[in-house]
Structure 1
Amino acid sequence: MKINTLLFDLDGTLINTNELIIESFLHTLHWYYPDQYKREDVLPFIGPTLYDTFNSINAEKVEEMVKVYRKFNHEQHDVLVKEYETVFETVKTLKEKGFKLGIVTTKIRATVNMGLTLTKLDQFFDVVVTLDDVENAKPHPEPVLKALEQLGSKPEEAIMVGDNHHDVEAGKNAGTKTAGVAWSIKGRDYISSHNPDYLLETMSDLLPIVGVE
């Protein structure tokens, strides 16, 4: 069946929030545990929800730690967030060619809106499914299936694109094709080891996959 729908993770896939996320984690963790965490220690925290991550560190202070993280994250957002090469042009082309486009993210809507507005990508997406909209975050299929339902698409007509194994697994669990991005902060080998159907070196690699010349 022909692909007519593209679903994207946001952070680390469409927009480069890696430095923002790393600095936000380090700020929060240094607040509670001075000098105990280094940059490499927080890389595994990229992907899961904040609640899952902080729950694994200190279950009694989860809410408090999330608030400290988000305050710093929002204050530094526009300084540290950057755009990935070919993303804007590729998404614009897909929209012009009539593809249905959605975002499926584990971030809350307020943070998502900041990133989309800053990069001017907000104009292209018909559906944005955030952590606020679901009971179960990726890799559970619920967010992907919810986006497909809102777009009026079937799983076999869609590709889920992401930088993390949560994205690949969520797509597979929902029955879509999957694409991993080689610019994942965890590395090309990391994302390819989770066996996405496609591996993108740049976002424009999506175009020939979906039949756009």
Structure 2
Amino acid sequence: MKTYRTYLFDFDYTLADSSKGIVMCYRNVLERHHHTGISDEAIKRTIGKTLVESFSLLSGITDADTLEAYRKEYVKEADKYMTANTRLFPETSHVLTTLKARGAKLGIISTKYRYRIMELLGHALPESTVDLIVGGEDVQTPKPSPEGVFIALEKLQTEKTDVLYVGDSTVDAETARAAGIDFAGVLHGTTTREELAAYPHTGILNDLSELL
């Protein structure tokens, strides 16, 4: 695979498996409001979308005030349970530190809140490994809007042709396409190789080590 000057990563199901914590937090909120019979797999399929979008898909609710209330409840649940139930994938630390040692700039673009990602990474990586995190609170329009990518390009002073965006979902693929940058899919999540391959891509990776 081509070597890039800058690598931008999604977080959930790309760098880390936080599905256990995510399912727990969604289920606590949903069942509190009598939304039952929703499978773990259905919840996992929403990873990468905003909390409001996910709650709407899972519950069928469209009322904005109700969805915002659910979002706030989820954040409180995540403050309790997310960090303890999230693990970086086995190769993540090695891949990121190796790319950094080679002189690459590294960024994360996620719908997850920046402070949460910083808390999670602080337990696993040297502080200077990741140059920039653009979280859900940093943008007006979430992925697949390219806004977060454009923020990263400006702050990292990087041209589009020098960037690879790595993600696990079709939302990530759509984000890269909208931003006009190269995309590589990784098969850590619930999205299939065929689903990712339907979008422009430079590769579909079994895991992140293939970046090296």
TM-score (norm 1): 0.89
2:86 paired with 1:85: no
Whole-angstrom distance in 2 between the partners of 1:33 and 1:184: 28
Over the residues paired in the alignment, what is the CA RMSD in angstroms?
1.9
Q: Per-residue deviation at 1:146?
A: 1.1
Whole-angstrom distance in 1 between the partners of 2:171 and 2:189: 12
Q: Give the secondary-structure state (helix, strand or coil) at the position aligned to 1:23.
A: helix
Matched positions, count: 207
TM-score (norm 2): 0.89
Whole-angstrom distance in 2 between the partners of 1:44 and 1:202: 19
1:121 to 1:167, Cα distance in 2 relative to 1, 3 A: farther
Partner of 2:36: 35
For 1:112, the aligned partner's letter is: I
Whole-angstrom distance in 2 between the partners of 1:142 and 1:34: 33
Unaligned runs of 5+ in 2: none
Instruction: State the identity %.
Output: 29
Matched ranges for 1:106-121 at <5 A: 106-120=111-125
Q: Per-residue deviation at 1:2?
A: 6.1
Unaligned runs of 5+ in 1: 208-213
What's the CA shift string for 1:184-213, capped at 9, x where partnerless?
233444333445321111211001xxxxxx
For 1:29, the aligned partner's letter is: L
Partner of 1:166: 171
Whole-angstrom distance in 2 between the partners of 1:2 and 1:13: 19
Matched ranges for 1:97-136 at <5 A: 97-120=102-125, 122-136=127-141
Whole-angstrom distance in 2 between the partners of 1:44 and 1:134: 23
Q: Per-residue deviation at 1:119?
A: 2.5
Partner of 1:210: none
